[in-house]
Structure 1
Amino acid sequence: MKEKVLDLIDKLEPELNDLSLEIYNNPELGYEEFKACKLHTEILRKYGFTIYDNFSGVKTGFKAEYKSLKDGLTVAYMAEYDALPGIGHGCGHNLLGAVSTGAGIVLKQIIDEIGGKVIVFGTPAEETSGAKVIYVENQEFDDVDIAMMAHPGNEYTKSGTSLALEPIQFEFFGKTSHAAASPEKGINALDAAISTFNSINALREHIRSDSRVHGVIIEGGKAANVVPDYTKVQFYVRSTTKTYNEELLEKIKNCAKGAALVTGCELKITKYEFNYDNMVTNEILSNLFNEKIFEIANITMSEPSKNTGSIDAGQVSQICPTIHPYFDITNDKNIVAHTREMAKSTLTDYAKKQMKNTIAALVLTAAEVIQNDKLFEEMKLEFENTEK
């Protein structure tokens, strides 16, 4: 099986390199990735996948599916392809997408033998309001047994955690007045905004040390001699678990409600972006991937970083066993994500070699799970008993 998979990857490599390069040369922001989406679906259609365009109401999303005649598990790979403003593919999504699509194509060519279904989800806009959130809300992952992806980075890192994220916006409505001649006739919306920040800062003593609350004042008034009648503030609320983050969010809302009450302002609370759930790595699935990458390329995966942000793959990990490891694309460990240097690294021969190794590990991981019922049952049991 291993030699067959490696041979299939070698034959597919030129097309994957072209796919990655074309997307690199044509960077598109989230929900504007029309060219990238078309490039992915063209190669998947060529290799016999059924394509669902405008998937789940997302114009630049897709689902590519192939079901063998032999029953088995459903394996999903998630392809990202959005770029960053100003620096292009500084997060390496041109290469990430090629890895997921490549893994789907290679698994498809062996799945008639081992059974099951392979899906490649095109998942736009990970950098902003990720489409995985929409897919999960629309129950598109409900029939998926395992989901996988691998993200470019500056070292091979095990799949770990991410922070649950709740974006919250507070708008305060007061009353203008002359700030010097008749301040008593005004209702100061800026005071409400500042009071909210102060209350949240006081709350920090009583929240978990691994939670994060950070925000900005988007609108704070127009002139120093006019009592501001409108302010808008936005916060991100993050925690290691979705359950605790929802509790913390209510406390943050109460800070704003208290500020509105004490200043006499009206308050409007909205969510200005999608919320992201925390990433829950399935350790059995993760360990299997780690074994495969070692078997293929003698690579030992590093422990995941304790400092983390938020990713929309977290949503998927709440639905089915999921992994999100990182693979190395540069020998220069000073190069970090969201930089032009990281973008350029995706084009190197070193990155292309690691792309092939990662695809092989993703495919062989899926193949073993499909063929080992006991292993999959252990994964399901872990998933069901892991705190979300």
Structure 2
Amino acid sequence: MDRKQDLFEHIDAMASDLTALSDFIFDHPEKGLEEHQACALLTDFLAREGFDVERGLVGMDTAFRASFDNRSGDGKGPSIGLLCEYDALEDLGHACGHHMQGPAIVGAASALKALCGDRPFRLVVYGTPAEETVGGKILMKERGCFQDIDVALMMHGSPTTTTDVRCLALISYEVTFLGRSAHAAIAPEKGRSALDALLLACQGIEFLREHVRDETRLHYTILDAGGPSNVIPARAKGEFSLRSYSTDYVDSVAKRVRDLFRGAALMAGVTCEIEEKPRYQAKIPVLALNELLMDNARRLEAPTLRPPREKTGSTDFGNVMYDLPGSCIRVAFVDEKASPHSEDYLRAGKSPEAHRCVLLGAKILAATCWDLVEREETLKAIQGEFGERKEELSRV
């Protein structure tokens, strides 16, 4: 018996339902933490399929957890997590392809539950909102999610069919400098310029660039310069972002940057308020898990197969993959020259290629989950590689 072929046929039989889900989410784009329709559609579908569904997870209205547990009382068998996003971009809709993720995930989950119940395993589907804005997975992880799974899998529409190796850790700050206003011409000595401090901080970042490791990224912008030129500004605000492929290293740079902010305030005779945004961690790559996904993509003759992307930007999935093995299969549905958050992605959102992407994503994930369920040694090897790589990175 070819279990994988049975899974593929089950998903093909659901094709019209899955693509209809994808098209509806595409036609009704919702911003992060406002994905009420998408969340309802996906959780209703999973509930009908017999999953135990928890909505409004960890205080987030549009987060959910749906589970199917076929393990015995001793807990034997893997616990596999399937994660999906469904938020859109403000003013641009689903120009990143998130409308395809949920349908692919629920298709894979349905097939596994229906056809693999003779083996012990737990399947957990996590609905993770607001990837594009606040990093929903970061908040969910901080509130205790993802501790119940051994491995985390995702899918994403892409110009090529591939996986990723590294991503950038990210720490961002909004810094408000507070001084004292005065007339710039009549009584400049009475003022203390918040803008002076902000400019000093920006200049400090420029000097810091030559004293950090290669592949460290330092960015800044001025959000509020404080007002007209003839008034010494009492308030100025900037945003600063730090990135590195090492979570530990970017943390060490962040300590220096916070000192830089306080030093700039001291030089200008003002004070500062430092607001840190949620931190994005660098993923711990597991090449064996990447290859397992790609083996199944090759079996299905997925389009535009390419080697793994060695370096990518920042993602909240990195925070999940910092604690446990994980991977995201990227499935081609647009031209190789297209980029996320573009009109090319948007125009292709309901195309035949997008519908194929949903079904291929579901099949690749279902087949990979079966590999983990069928062969206990596969998951053990993946977990072993994860532990070794995390130890290596901690020494860098």
TM-score (norm 1): 0.96
- Kindly state the Cα deviation for residue 190 of structure 1 after the two structures are TM-superposed: 0.4
1:62-87, Cα deviation, whole Å (9 max, x unpaired): 11111115541111111100000111
Per the alignment, residue 95 of structure 2 pairs with 90
1:155-198, Cα deviation, whole Å (9 max, x unpaired): 11222221111111211111111111221121111010000000
Q: Does the C-alpha gap of structure 1 residues 75 and 307 become closer, same or farther in structure 2, counting only changes over 3 Å?
A: closer
Per the alignment, residue 130 of structure 1 pairs with 135
Per the alignment, residue 255 of structure 1 pairs with 260
3-state SS in 1 of match to 2:144: coil
Q: What percentage of aligned pairs have identical amino acids?
A: 30
Amino acid at match of 1:123: T
Checking the alignment, whether the CA contact within 8 Å between 1:89 and 1:340 is kept in structure 2 is no
- Kindly state the Cα deviation for residue 360 of structure 1 after the two structures are TM-superposed: 1.4
Amino acid at match of 1:41: T
Checking the alignment, whether the CA contact within 8 Å between 2:302 and 2:360 is kept in structure 1 is no
Comparing 23-32 with 202-211, greater Cα deviation is found at 202-211
3-state SS in 1 of match to 2:171: strand
Aligned counterparts, 1:24-35, within 5 A = 24-35=26-37
Per the alignment, residue 16 of structure 1 pairs with 18
Size of the aligned set, in residue pairs, is 386
Confirm whether residue 323 of structure 1 aligns to residue 314 of structure 2: no
Per the alignment, residue 291 of structure 1 pairs with 295
3-state SS in 1 of match to 2:176: strand
Distance 1:343 1:111 in 2: 36
1:201-242, Cα deviation, whole Å (9 max, x unpaired): 011011122111111111111121111111111111111011
Checking the alignment, whether the CA contact within 8 Å between 1:88 and 1:340 is kept in structure 2 is no
Comparing 96-105 with 202-211, greater Cα deviation is found at 96-105
> Which residue among 378, 381, 386 is the counterpart of 2:384?
381
Per the alignment, residue 362 of structure 1 pairs with 365
Alignment RMSD (CA, Å): 1.5
Checking the alignment, whether the CA contact within 8 Å between 1:69 and 1:112 is kept in structure 2 is no
Q: Does the C-alpha gap of structure 1 residues 300 and 22 become closer, same or farther in structure 2, counting only changes over 3 Å?
A: closer
Per the alignment, residue 195 of structure 2 pairs with 190
> Which residue among 151, 158, 179 is the counterpart of 1:153?
158
Distance 1:88 1:312 in 2: 20
Per the alignment, residue 4 of structure 1 pairs with 6
Checking the alignment, whether the CA contact within 8 Å between 2:164 and 2:312 is kept in structure 1 is no
Checking the alignment, whether the CA contact within 8 Å between 1:160 and 1:324 is kept in structure 2 is no
Checking the alignment, whether the CA contact within 8 Å between 1:132 and 1:313 is kept in structure 2 is yes
TM-score (norm 2): 0.94
Per the alignment, residue 306 of structure 2 pairs with 302
* Structure 1 unaligned residues grouped into runs of 5+: none
Distance 2:302 2:357 in 1: 12
Q: Does the C-alpha gap of structure 1 residues 318 and 307 become closer, same or farther in structure 2, counting only changes over 3 Å?
A: closer
Q: Does the C-alpha gap of structure 1 residues 304 and 235 become closer, same or farther in structure 2, counting only changes over 3 Å?
A: farther
3-state SS in 1 of match to 2:167: coil
Aligned counterparts, 1:213-224, within 5 A = 213-224=218-229
> Which residue among 41, 45, 52 is the counterpart of 1:39?
41
- Kindly state the Cα deviation for residue 153 of structure 1 after the two structures are TM-superposed: 1.0
Distance 2:227 2:280 in 1: 34
Amino acid at match of 2:326: T
* Structure 2 unaligned residues grouped into runs of 5+: none
Per the alignment, residue 238 of structure 2 pairs with 233
> Which residue among 54, 66, 69 is the counterpart of 2:68?
66
3-state SS in 1 of match to 2:68: strand
3-state SS in 2 of match to 1:85: coil
Distance 1:303 1:267 in 2: 46
- Kindly state the Cα deviation for residue 351 of structure 1 after the two structures are TM-superposed: 2.2
Checking the alignment, whether the CA contact within 8 Å between 1:92 and 1:346 is kept in structure 2 is yes
Per the alignment, residue 336 of structure 1 pairs with 339
Checking the alignment, whether the CA contact within 8 Å between 2:35 and 2:129 is kept in structure 1 is yes
Checking the alignment, whether the CA contact within 8 Å between 2:19 and 2:358 is kept in structure 1 is no
Confirm whether residue 314 of structure 1 aligns to residue 314 of structure 2: no
- Kindly state the Cα deviation for residue 348 of structure 1 after the two structures are TM-superposed: 1.3
1:78-122, Cα deviation, whole Å (9 max, x unpaired): 110000011100000001221122222222223312220111111
Distance 1:182 1:93 in 2: 55
Deviation above 4 Å: which 4+ runs of structure 1? none
Amino acid at match of 1:128: T
Amino acid at match of 1:313: F
> Which residue among 104, 114, 119 is the counterpart of 1:114?
119
Distance 2:232 2:254 in 1: 29
Checking the alignment, whether the CA contact within 8 Å between 1:187 and 1:229 is kept in structure 2 is yes
Checking the alignment, whether the CA contact within 8 Å between 1:34 and 1:60 is kept in structure 2 is yes
Amino acid at match of 1:345: A
